[in-house]
């Protein structure tokens, strides 16, 4: 009887010691995460959400009215007729070079455009647009590729009304007309960019804002 009890105790002891060894090995097999590992994980670009790219330019363009004589259809030169007048506020978060500004009108079967291009060696598309800076000075085409702006900048845009121009084009600015604005510019990284918006004359002779 005593022999049997000893045998049972011996078997129990063997199982107990075997279980402790397995537990210790399991704990030792888990490698703790060090502070260096955590730092490397947090600095890994793939673990971070992608950043939204900055929008280089935004613009607000408002109709002012037919109020000054700045341009003729084909020249930056007064012709005795008052021109359509838009006010443009350009907002950029970096230095950019303005290459061109274009306003298009495409309604009732007409397709008209007025363009300001800074590079004097490039041809004007459509009719001439007068671009005037905050001091009231016309920005004329030059030999380089762009007019540098940074931050908030205000401009006035002048477009001739048309009366059988080129034997076909006639336009008087009036309420509810819709125009397309396009601004082409180059960023500091020499990237070609384009901004587009829609303009609408809300009421004749008063300010109108793009919807």
Judge whether 62 lies within some domain: yes
Give the domain CATH number at 199: 2.60.40
Judge whether 179 lies within some domain: yes
- Which positions ≥6 away from 96 have C-beta within 8 Å? 56, 57, 146, 148, 149, 150, 185, 186, 187, 188, 193
17: exposed, middle or buried (Cβ count in 10 Å: 0-12, 13-18, 19+): exposed
Judge whether 183 lies within some domain: yes
Q: How many CB atoms lie within 10 A of CB 35?
A: 7
Q: Are 83 and 130 in contact (CB under 8 A)?
A: yes
Judge whether 22 lies within some domain: no
The residue among 176, 180, 177, 211 whose CA lies nearest residue 195 is 180
Question: Residue 148's domain spans which residues?
Answer: 57-209
Judge whether 25 lies within some domain: no
The residue among 117, 110, 152 whose CA lies nearest residue 131 is 117
Judge whether 194 lies within some domain: yes
Q: pTM for the whole thing?
A: 0.71
Condensed to tens digits (0 to 9), the pLDDT of residues 141-175 reads 998 889 999 999 999 999 999 999 999 999 999 99
Judge whether 35 lies within some domain: no
Judge whether 20 lies within some domain: no
Condensed to tens digits (0 to 9), the pLDDT of residues 33-64 reads 554 555 454 445 444 444 334 455 688 999 99
C-alpha span between 68 and 79 (Å, rounded): 11
Report how many domains make up the chain: 1
């Amino acid at each position: 009887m005593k022999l049997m009890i000893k045998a049972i105790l011996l078997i129990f002891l063997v199982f107990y010691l075997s279980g402790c060894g397995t537990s210790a090995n399991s704990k030792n097999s888990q490698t703790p995460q060090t502070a260096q590992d955590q730092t490397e994980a947090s600095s890994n670009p793939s673990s971070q959400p992608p950043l939204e790219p900055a929008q280089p330019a935004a613009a607000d363009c408002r109709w002012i009215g037919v109020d000054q004589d700045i341009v003729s259809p084909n020249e930056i030169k007064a012709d005795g007729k008052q021109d359509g007048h838009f006010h443009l506020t350009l907002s950029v978060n970096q230095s950019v070079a303005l290459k061109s500004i274009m306003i298009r009108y495409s309604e009732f079967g007409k397709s008209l455009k007025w363009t300001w291009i800074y590079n004097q060696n490039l041809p004007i598309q459509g009719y001439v647009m007068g671009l005037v800076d905050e001091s009231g000075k016309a920005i004329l085409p030059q030999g380089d590729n762009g007019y540098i702006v940074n931050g908030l900048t205000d401009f006035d845009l002048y477009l001739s009304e048309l009366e059988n121009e080129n034997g076909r084009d006639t336009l008087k600015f009036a309420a509810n007309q819709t125009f397309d604005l396009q601004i082409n510019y180059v960023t500091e990284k020499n990237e070609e960019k384009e901004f587009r918006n829609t303009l609408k004359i809300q009421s004749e002779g008063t300010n109108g804002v793009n919807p």
